[in-house]
Structure 1
Amino acid sequence: MMILNDVDTGAPLAYMSANLLSAYRIGAIPGVGARHLARKDLKVVGLLGPGVMGKTAVAAFIAACPLIDTVKVKGRNQKSIDDFISWANANYPQITTIEVVDTIEEVVRGCDIVTYCNSDETGDPSKYPLVKREWVKLGAYLAMPAYCSLDDEMEKGDVRKVLDNTGLYEAWYEEVPKPAHNHIPLPGVRFMDMVEEGLITKDDLEDLGAIVGGDTKGRQNDEEIIILSVGGMPVKDVAWESALEAVGSSLADVVMSRVFIQNAADTHQVMEYVGSKFKGIDPATTVTCPPLGSTVYKVELEVTAYRGAAMAEVENISTAQ
């Protein structure tokens, strides 16, 4: 859930589902990747899964690559396809061709950008949607925020492998049984399995943040194939500390925090960190341990702040006996 507060009074303006915000966050990262990793003359997008995440990914691709005029799409049912076509026609008149295809191979072949935005069950990577090297166009950029399996040729060293945040995948890899790709179906997690198996080294993996920051080169020629694994970090939804600063506020203005911890066993570690951030601020805090949106998410934190609250006179009340 997302709470929108008035920047002056702190009064709540909206209490709403964060699903759309989350979808735009996940879609935006493939778009950032396209800005740095896709060819500048690209025109054709291949999309598996034309739902909300697929729509936001396509929107981000068009923002980064305005020459796009064709989308090849495969959906699970006719309704999702019809909804996507209506959405594209209403919002992106530059898309002059929408080709509905029947196979994953058709989604990939001939496309400058390929993205899988599907959902399914984890457990058996052989059942995840496949990408074969023979299907992939030279110079293609593949942005994968969902289930994906690569053939042996796509796993070779001449295909550039980029992670949206390397630390996220390292943390995931430590927390799940091995092979990790059986439990987290993203290609970046398969890359971590490959490191463990000795097939590649961590030096073979690149970080999108380093590319955006200029520490690592983006696309270097028109023929290299680049795959970006998109983990969709919840921290990208709202960077709350930076968000407070953006409206002239700070952590010191926080009057209430709500901490949701998926695993009760993590409570001590989480609250030790939260306590260090709010030491001396002492907002009213509630802590619960509900299921979160995915088992890979550990903590969700919501805060309520009133701009200028740090300067207010307060009375500390202790309930200790």
Structure 2
Amino acid sequence: METDAEATRDSDIVIAATTTDAAGSSAFPYFKKEDIKPGALLLLPAAARFDDDFLGEDNTRLVLDYHGLYDAWAEEYGDEAYQILGIPGCHWNGLVEKGQLDASNFDQIGDISAGRTPARRNEDESILSSVGGMPVEDVAWATEVYDNAHAKGLGQNLLLWEEPAIK
């Protein structure tokens, strides 16, 4: 594929996994509304940007791993959280603070996982999922890596305590 648009236009799932840039959000990967397939899932664990009006549309769903994480970053970094971290949820949170986006547009992945919020409201909604990196995600991934290594007989056992927490 020659362009970003070609890579995303017909994709059901898109992952933005790029680093931040000293130039800030102007250098983040830019996803145009017209290049996002209706019903697509965009996983955003890294720098990405969208047009602000697209974020507030009825058929655009904004999912956060945990809203409190973004509030903490806003408290720590202020208005520069998105520019420094590049995580889209920081920008969305900033738009709420400025009165340009309603916080009711956000869903949390825990609420979806627990069935308190539907996984999908309709087949055409575009889901933008901001992943800030909660430690519980790291523990889940590390457990999977450990289990795979153990099953394949890889690695070396280290005696860190008398009785391991995971066997």
TM range (shorter): 0.7 to 0.9
Which of the residues 170, 174, 178 maps onto 2:75? 174
| Compared CA separation, residues 305 and 203, structure 1 to 2 (3 A) | farther
1:155 corresponds in structure 2 to 55
CA contact (8 A) 1:131 1:154 kept: no
Q: TM-score when scaled to structure 1?
A: 0.42
Return the offset for 1:215: 0.9
For residues 212-251 of structure 1, give each alpha carbon's deviation from its aligned partner in whole angstroms, at most 9, with x where no partner exists. 0011111122111111001122343227xxx8xxxxxxxx
Return the offset for 1:201: 2.5
2:126 corresponds in structure 1 to 225
Q: Which amino acid aligns with 1:189?
A: C
- Alignment length, in residue pairs? 145
Q: Secondary structure at the match of 1:238?
A: helix
Q: Which amino acid aligns with 2:162?
A: Y
Question: Do residues 237 (structure 1) and 138 (structure 2) align?
Answer: yes
Question: Do residues 188 (structure 1) and 89 (structure 2) align?
Answer: yes
Return the offset for 1:196: 0.9
Which of the residues 27, 35, 47 maps onto 1:127? 27
Identity of aligned residues (%): 37
Q: TM-score when scaled to structure 2?
A: 0.78
Return the offset for 1:162: 0.3
| Compared CA separation, residues 120 and 179, structure 1 to 2 (3 A) | closer
Which of the residues 68, 88, 106 maps onto 1:205? 106
Higher strand share: 1
CA contact (8 A) 1:133 1:153 kept: no
2:150 corresponds in structure 1 to none
CA distance in 1 between counterparts of 2:23 and 2:72 reads 19
**Aligned counterparts, 1:86-125, within 5 A:** 101-125=1-25
For residues 101-143 of structure 1, give each alpha carbon's deviation from its aligned partner in whole angstroms, at most 9, with x where no partner exists. 2322122111111111122424521111001101111111111
CA contact (8 A) 1:145 1:186 kept: yes
CA contact (8 A) 2:13 2:40 kept: yes
| Compared CA separation, residues 123 and 184, structure 1 to 2 (3 A) | farther
CA contact (8 A) 1:142 1:227 kept: yes
Return the offset for 1:151: 1.4
Q: Which amino acid aligns with 2:61?
A: R
Q: Which amino acid aligns with 1:169?
A: Y
For residues 241-282 of structure 1, give each alpha carbon's deviation from its aligned partner in whole angstroms, at most 9, with x where no partner exists. xx8xxxxxxxxxxxxxxxxxxxxxxxxxxxxxxxxxxxxxxx
Return the offset for 1:165: 1.6
1:306 corresponds in structure 2 to 162
Q: Secondary structure at the match of 1:217?
A: coil
CA distance in 1 between counterparts of 2:67 and 2:12 reads 25
Higher helix share: 2
CA distance in 2 between counterparts of 1:217 and 1:118 reads 29
| Compared CA separation, residues 109 and 128, structure 1 to 2 (3 A) | same
Query: Aligned-residue CA RMSD in angstroms?
Result: 2.0
For residues 123-175 of structure 1, give each alpha carbon's deviation from its aligned partner in whole angstroms, at most 9, with x where no partner exists. 52111100110111111111111110111342223211000122211111111
Return the offset for 1:184: 1.4
CA contact (8 A) 2:20 2:85 kept: no
Consecutive unaligned residues of structure 1, counting only runs of 5 or more, are: 1-100, 244-303, 309-321
Q: Secondary structure at the match of 2:43?
A: strand
